Amino acid sequence: MGDVKVSGVEEDARAEVDIWNYVFGYVNMAVVKCAIELGIADAIENHGSPMTLSELSTALVCEPSGLYRIMRFLVHYQIFKEEPIGQDSIGYALTPLSRRLVRHGEKSMAAFILLESSPAMLAPWHSLSARVLDCGNSPFEAANGKDVWSYAEANPGHSKLIDEAMACDARVTVPAIIEGCPEVFDGLGSLVDVGGGNGTALTMLVKAFPWIRGINFDLPHVVAVAPKFDGIENVGGDMFESVPKADAAFFMWVLHDWDDEECIKILKKCREAIPQDKGKVIVVDAVLEENKDDKLDFVRLMLDMVMMAHTNKGKERTLKEWSYVLEEAGFTRFNVKPIHAVQSVIEAYP
């Protein structure tokens, strides 16, 4: 009985502290967004060594006292760190985490943070309870007047932000695919990236596997501004109507945007586009509950909440749910390959 009491007291004491994370939970995102917009990480990276408050405020053309308060917060959360400069001064230096805030860094997530913290993406969260109650439109549509795809088509700036955010993820995930399961691309002469955005993922794959001819397939307004790259053809269209023919169809963070019925329809169009004897579909998406010891499992659960807020009927799926949509679309077998990323690689065969 005594142990139970102690446990209850400890839990209550922890709750007294933890509840403040939910009262002010938005602050972390807001301050990190501020750091990206100010270009703090970029300034320190360009300087090449730790910077004093005076040097940093001069470089950023901002008021020192406000910058000091921002840096105090970011140092407390170990996003930046303080290092001595000489005998009397302290400078701000990058950490592995703040290197991911450098706009054009190799592993930058800056654009992803700017997308998710943009007004259009934040507003739907206020209507999440209405989504659970199944009251009318999706939270995104209720907040912005259009679904996320129509909104992006009507707002080129937001569309660009989505493409840049997906490119951030591609620069992290595609190397994990190449390193973790390169055999997936053996024997493929052509690959269509369905919903490929600005072509970042496909460009990296074609560079790694130069025998592959790539087709970057997305909505016409998306591919119209996609960069050109040798070995890749940009094709506009609608994946619900048809998919360009190739040896394999590739999806990365696309199918989770749609409900089961829509996924089955898309996958059937892909099955029509690939050879029935040796074709396949490669899905790079999260698999919930696949490995509960995985340190990234909390991200997959967060993504499922993002799907509730930002899409009409999208969701993250368990292995059983993936099995259902693939079998209903006419795929006879599939396998799942974990990689060092939020997503797994699913290979499905007709």
Catalytic residues: 256
Helices (H), 181-209: 200-208
Query: What whole-number distance in Å separates Cα of residue 288 and Cα of residue 300?
Result: 7
Look-up of token digits 């691309």 = 185
Residue 238, SS3?
coil
Q: CA-CA distance, 218 to 49, in Å (whole number)?
A: 42
Say how far apart CA 33 and CA 171 lie, in whole Å: 20
For the chain, give the number of residues: 350
User: Most distant CA pair in the chain: distance in Å?
Assistant: 71
CA distance 297 to 305: 13
Q: How many CA atoms lie within 13 A of 242 on its CB side?
A: 6
Phi and psi, residue 34, nearest 5°: -60, -45
Rounded to the nearest 10°, the torsion over CA 58, 60, 61, 65 is -80
Q: What is the DSSP letter of 118?
A: S
Strands 80-85 and 89-94: antiparallel
Report the amino acid identity of residue 46: N
SS3 state at 347: strand
CA atoms within 13 A on the CB side of 2: 0
User: Which has the closest alpha carbon to 163: 199, 213, 216?
Assistant: 199
